[in-house]
Amino acid sequence: MMTKILLFDLDWTLIYTGGAGVRALDSAFERLFKIPQAMKKISPDGKTDPAICREMIRVILKREPEGGEIERLCRGYLDQLAKEIPASPGYRILPGIPALLDALAPRENILMGLGTGNLEEGARIKLARADFMKYFRFGGFGSDAEERPLVLRKGVERGEALAKKAIGPRDVVVIGDNIRDVQAGKAIGATTVAVATGPMTYEELAKTSPDHLFHDLSDTPAVLNVLAL
């Protein structure tokens, strides 16, 4: 069977943290710059963590980041995130995800990875509560690059290293809830699957013309039919 790489977005695709990420970013920014609630002026959806930190500095401080500020802000964010996730009352797993991951995991021709704007450490923190990291042997992360297409390319490279062979672009499947996921997937020539479990509506996602579009991923046979292609 043809080997396929599946790259799953994390926030609003696999899980919702109940706002833990925003709270952690606010806390880190306030500790570093003494300004509270900075995320009120930032829309983080579909962006990488370093890009969000860069935008926070630009929007709130009205200047470009200076030496090491993004790294320090990211570090503070990760430290706070590790406290926020276990205690977040709104944390939830999104519809159909456990059944889908369980169904995909045994398939020898499927390599499941993450394609997420989260820093790798942040992704591990977020997924630990749901015990989902056991499904993902590799990924592309915000710690690899600020731009989503580069994040996905890194995920593909790591998947190919595990497969010990090159994988054709259309045998890479990018699954996400945001137009940025679809756009980044198209930028690397991948098959794109959009799911309307996040802030973006089904109709908004449809305008980006993903290869496949679902309201959610709860119909396991239908999703498997698409992902196995």
Per-residue model confidence as pLDDT tens for the chain (229 residues): 789 999 999 999 999 999 999 999 999 999 999 999 999 999 998 899 999 999 999 999 999 999 999 999 999 999 999 999 999 999 999 999 999 999 999 999 999 999 999 999 999 999 999 999 999 999 999 999 999 999 999 999 999 999 999 999 999 999 999 999 999 999 999 999 999 999 999 999 999 999 999 999 999 999 999 987 6
How high is the pLDDT of residue 229? Answer: 60
Bridge partners, 36 (sequence order) = none
Shortest CA distance to 8 belongs to which of 106, 137, 189?
A: 137
Instruction: Give exposure, 26-49, as e/b (b: 16+ Cβ within 10 Å).
Output: bbbbeebeeeeebbeebebbbbbb
Q: Per the structure block, which two tokens stand in for 13?
A: 């695709």
- Confidence (pTM): 0.96
Q: Per the structure block, which two tokens stand in for 72?
A: 């320090």
How high is the pLDDT of residue 143? Answer: 97
Q: Per the structure block, which two tokens stand in for 168?
A: 């054709």
How high is the pLDDT of residue 1? Answer: 73
DSSP state of 94: P
CA-based diameter of the chain, in Å?
A: 56
> Is 226 strand, coil or helix?
helix
**Which ranges of 88-174 would DSSP assign to H, the alpha helix?**
97-104, 120-128, 148-163
Distance of CA 61 to the CA centre of its chain: 27
Cα dihedral 121, 133, 199, 104, rounded to 10, equals 150
Q: Per the structure block, which two tokens stand in for 25?
A: 């970013």
Residue 63 near residue 57, CB atoms below 8 Å: yes
CA distance 107 to 165: 17
How high is the pLDDT of residue 212? Answer: 98
